Structure 1
Amino acid sequence: MNENHSQILLDSAVAALNSGDSVLGASYLYDLWKHEPSILKSNAIRISHLLTIGGYWDAITSLLPKGTNSLVETGWLNSLTTSRPVNAANQPIPWYTYPSIEFIEPKVKREWNVFEWGSGNSTLWWSQRVNRVISVDHDPEWFRSISNQMPDNVSIKLITDKNSYVQALEQSVSEINGALLDVVVIDGEWRNECAKQAINFLSPEGVIIFDNTDRIMFREGTAHLDTCGLFRIDFYGMIASYLYKNCTSVFMNTPAFLRSGALPSDHRTSLGPTCSQALGE
């Protein structure tokens, strides 16, 4: 394929995608990949997403029983299209693995206080479900883009200094009148150092959510929490906006956390129904 024809295919793909025709756009990209894959390498991940979005999803979903296409009902396809962690209703969800969200959400209590290292859609998700969310972030540009979206029960701070960032958990306790925290989320910068602080202000039945624990770079922090005698459950699975799986680990002081929550047949979360629930079985 000559360079001119490759450019025509690429321009045609962009035009189709911009017009909202993801199927046609993906077909041009696929043709380009077959003949000149090197052209797509510079933006390979996004191209792979566009090829996925360009599948015949309307036809696939229509052939399945209503509400049973999990890629649609969880919002995974929507998140792939928008490049944001959202559900099918375009509502924010955390960037944790889907299985961990399914596990955590039914157990959340309105009176809880939550602290996060790392802010974003998870902050918005928690704010709709708990009493108070305190979140810190290290990225000025990201902080400016999200801080004005937060509701009144969220306190979000920009902290760029490493020591101050790690110690922010201790400082946050004064905002909730010295109460211990029900949830501590490790999902930002300097996670190993944050993990060493996380247990210090955790309530007796509180939980620590440590995202991306499958990364070698976070072995130190994960191992530290293990040595503290916490119970750990690892949730491997897909995440919003991407094609791969990650691991989100939930640490708890006591197995009492496992005894709370609805029965499986009554389970309802922001990620949509199971197949049996959709079918009314």
Structure 2
Amino acid sequence: MNPTLKEIIKKTFPTGSRNLRAYNYLIRDKNSYLHTSGWMDSLHDWAPQDVVGDPVPWMNYPIIKFLKDRLKTDIHLFEYGSGFSTSFYAKLVHSVTSVEYDEAWFKVVEGQLPNNAKLIYRKQDIDGEYCRAISLSNQKYDVIIVDGFDRVNCVKQSVPYLSERGVILLDDSQREEYEEAYAFLKQKGLRFIEFEGLKATGNLLDRSTIFYRDRNCFDI
């Protein structure tokens, strides 16, 4: 295209020109982040997955990369909120225990559980049995994922069940209603590190926060 004609189009249709560049750079280009992260395939199937089609948690891609690198086969993990993430964690750690409040989804996930994963059903409630499901096995966990319902109370119930090297991961931590969880864990002496980015099928900046102490299993 003639350079002069390009300038005329840019001046006449400034937004359209920008949108076309964004389309070319992010959607048409198979080497763009949207493709290499698995975002495009996730959007197509409406299910979180990586670039080779393996299931991933419905979290932002930077935290997924971190978890892939840091989760180890000697880790015992508890998860509030089951699903695609359950299979993802089970491939990387020693054991996964997950609690789910949606009965229909519970039945779906239960039928796909790997051998090292256990699923608990608890009805949806506030400061009740759901957030206290972590106490049922009477064990300590190295990683506790809070990605389900009643998250502030889940965080509060998690602390007594952290192993000496345990960490807590709170997803969607940018939400104002989770500020109480930050304050509670800071009072307990935990520090935090945040990861931000796109999550599968999402279009907004999403945050996940890891709360940790010294000599933790993630080496942070």
TM-score range, shorter chain: 0.7 to 0.9
What is the TM-score with the length of structure 2 in the denominator? 0.83
Uncovered stretches (5+) of structure 2, i.e. residues with no partner: 1-22
Q: Contact between 1:133 and 1:155, CA under 8 Å: does it hold in 2?
A: yes
- Structure 1 residues 259 and 185, CA, compared in 2 at 3 Å: closer, same or farther? closer
- Structure 1 residues 253 and 81, CA, compared in 2 at 3 Å: closer, same or farther? same
Q: Contact between 2:166 and 2:216, CA under 8 Å: does it hold in 1?
A: no
Are 2:110 and 1:144 equivalent residues in the alignment? no
* Of 192, 201, 204, the match for 1:241: 201
Which residue of 2 is the match for residue 28 of structure 1? Answer: none
Which residue of 1 is the match for residue 19 of structure 2? Answer: none
Q: How do residues 255-274 of structure 1 correspond to structure 2 at under 5 angstroms?
A: 256-257=216-217, 259=219
Shift of 1:257: 4.7
Distance 1:80 1:234 in 2: 25
Q: Which amino acid aligns with 1:169?
A: I
Shift of 1:256: 4.7
* Of 57, 60, 80, the match for 2:29: 60
* Of 128, 133, 136, the match for 1:171: 136
- Structure 1 residues 69 and 161, CA, compared in 2 at 3 Å: closer, same or farther? closer
Shift of 1:80: 1.1
Uncovered stretches (5+) of structure 1, i.e. residues with no partner: 1-54, 62-67, 261-281
* Corresponding residue SS for 2:123: coil
Q: Which amino acid aligns with 1:133?
A: V
Distance 1:181 1:139 in 2: 23
Distance 1:58 1:117 in 2: 34
* The 10-residue stretch of structure 1 (250-259 or 184-193) with the greater mean CA deviation from structure 2: 250-259
* Corresponding residue SS for 1:172: coil
Q: Contact between 1:92 and 1:122, CA under 8 Å: does it hold in 2?
A: yes
Larger Rg computed on CA atoms:
1
Identify, as 1 or 2, the structure richer in helix. 1
Q: Which amino acid aligns with 1:232?
A: F
Distance 2:42 2:69 in 1: 22
Q: Count the aligned residue pairs.
A: 198
Distance 2:130 2:148 in 1: 10
Are 2:39 and 1:76 equivalent residues in the alignment? yes
Are 2:98 and 1:135 equivalent residues in the alignment? yes
Distance 2:70 2:111 in 1: 28
Distance 1:211 1:58 in 2: 27
Shift of 1:60: 2.0
Are 2:156 and 1:191 equivalent residues in the alignment? no
Q: How do residues 25-40 of structure 1 correspond to structure 2 at under 5 angstroms?
A: none
Shift of 1:191: 0.5
Shift of 1:111: 1.4
Q: Which amino acid aligns with 1:203?
A: S
Shift of 1:145: 2.2
Which residue of 1 is the match for residue 20 of structure 2? Answer: none
Q: Contact between 1:231 and 1:254, CA under 8 Å: does it hold in 2?
A: no
Shift of 1:161: 5.0
Q: Contact between 1:204 and 1:254, CA under 8 Å: does it hold in 2?
A: no
Which residue of 2 is the match for residue 252 of structure 1? Answer: 212
* The 10-residue stretch of structure 1 (189-198 or 247-256) with the greater mean CA deviation from structure 2: 247-256
Distance 1:143 1:231 in 2: 33
Q: Which amino acid aligns with 2:159?
A: I
Shift of 1:207: 1.1
CA deviations over 1:173-212 (Å, ceiling 9, x no partner): 3xxxx3x211001000111111111111111111111001
Identity %: 30
CA deviations over 1:28-51 (Å, ceiling 9, x no partner): xxxxxxxxxxxxxxxxxxxxxxxx
Distance 2:183 2:206 in 1: 18
Shift of 1:82: 1.0
Shift of 1:236: 1.3
Are 2:173 and 1:208 equivalent residues in the alignment? no
* Corresponding residue SS for 1:92: coil
